Structures are given as C-alpha cells and as structure tokens.
Amino acid sequence: MEKVLSLVAAVMLFSAASMAQASFGVGYMNPTHPGALLSEPTTLNGVYAGLDYNIHFTENFGLAPGVFCSYATKTDEYPGSLASGKLTLTELYVGVPLNLNFSFKLAPDFALTLYAGPTISYGVMSKSKGDAKVLGIGGSAEVDLYKNTNYKPLDVLVGGGVAFDWAEMFRVSVGYNYGILDRNASDHHSFNRSYLHMGVAYLF
C-alpha cells in the first residue's frame, strides 16, 4: 500500500512539474513608509524584479511561489535662502510570495489570471539620510532605521491582483499588498506597510 501511495504521489508531482511555467518580471511599486521619525507616514517610489514558478495543478488552477527584490526611495527638499536641506529615505527588501491563481482564456492567444496569497518580506536595508546647509556650510547624517529605531524588518503581507497573458510569453499585471504586521515596536505609533505594484514579465 505504501508503495502504491508513493507511486501516486510521484506521478502527481511529475505531472505538476511538467505543467509548470517560470517567469521573470520587473515593475513599479509605491510602498508606504513610516518616515524618518516613524510617526510621519509617507509613500516611496520603487522598482522590483524577480522570478516565480507557477505549478499548474489543473489547466486553470495553480500555485506560484517566487522570490523578488525591491528598492524604493524618496527625497524631500527644504529650500531656503539662509538654510536649506533635504531628507532621503531608502529601503531594500527581499520578498517571497506564494500565490494561488486561476486563469482562463479570453481568446486563443490571450488569457486572464486572478491571483491572491501571502508574501513574506524581509527588509535588508532601511536608511534615512539628512543633508543640511546653513550660510553655505553643509553637513549630512545617516541613520539605519532598523538598528537605531523601533522599525522592524520582518513583514507578512496579503494581497492579490490580475494579470493578462499574451501568447503564453508576455504578461502585464497589477496588484495590491497589505501588511498584517505592525512594523513599529513602539506602543505610541503603529505602522502597516502596503503598496500597489504593476509590471511586465516574460514567461519561459
């Protein structure tokens, strides 16, 4: 009996693998950020790139694990005649999404896919850099927000989106993720990261 079950499991895994499809994608995202003082939320502009591997359990239903890296930044400038300055926020993340998806053909070479699932995200870097100049004399200071504040690097997000495939080679997608963890360890403020993302991918 155990041999029969093992054989069935092996056949199912082989069948799923034979129907799998990998893709490489890049795109734009606008993640929220708690600000340099972790109390003034703002929105960054960023890019992402990564791979996923869609395992088809049926012709229409699948599961797509992946690995993506994202980089986002924002600079605010404060001009003045006697004193001026600017503040730059920068973040780098590695994310591992695990999305269930359902797709169906709208035309022979055109398919629509709906997807949803969790993403485990870890902040590799989050920095705040301030530059100031008074009467022509300037200086700068940089703060590692993970090491010097209550900002926590680990995040778990849930989200979903829609994708359009053409000729089983190219994909355009748009989606939204919302963080379910409070990233601020302080009792005075809370922060849940979220972002809209849109991009293109090559399927192979």
Whole-angstrom distance, CA of residue 101 vs CA of residue 113:
7
CB 95 within 8 A of CB 120: yes
Which CATH number fits the domain that encloses residue 65?
2.40.160.20
Provide the domain limits for residue 139.
2-203
pLDDT at position 2 is: 55
Quote the Cα angle for 53-59-63, to 5°. Answer: 30
Classify strands 83-107 and 61-78 as parallel, antiparallel or unpaired: antiparallel
Residue listed under structure tokens 């503040």: 87
Characterise 106 by phi-psi region: left (phi > 0), alpha (psi -120 to 50), beta (else): alpha
Query: Is 101 exposed, middle or buried (CB count within 10 Å of its CB: 0-12, 13-18, 19+)?
Result: buried
Q: What is the largest CA-CA distance in the chain?
A: 84
What value does the mean pLDDT take over residues 168-172? 96
What value does the mean pLDDT take over residues 168-195? 96
How confident is residue 170, by pLDDT bands cut at 50, 70 and 90? very high
Lowest mean pLDDT among 4-18, 48-62, 68-82: 4-18
pLDDT digits (tens, 9 = 90+) for 36-60: 999 999 999 999 999 999 999 998 9
What value does the mean pLDDT take over residues 186-200? 95
Average per-residue pLDDT in the chain? 91
Q: What's the domain count of the chain?
A: 1
Whether the predicted pLDDT of 75 surpasses 50:
yes
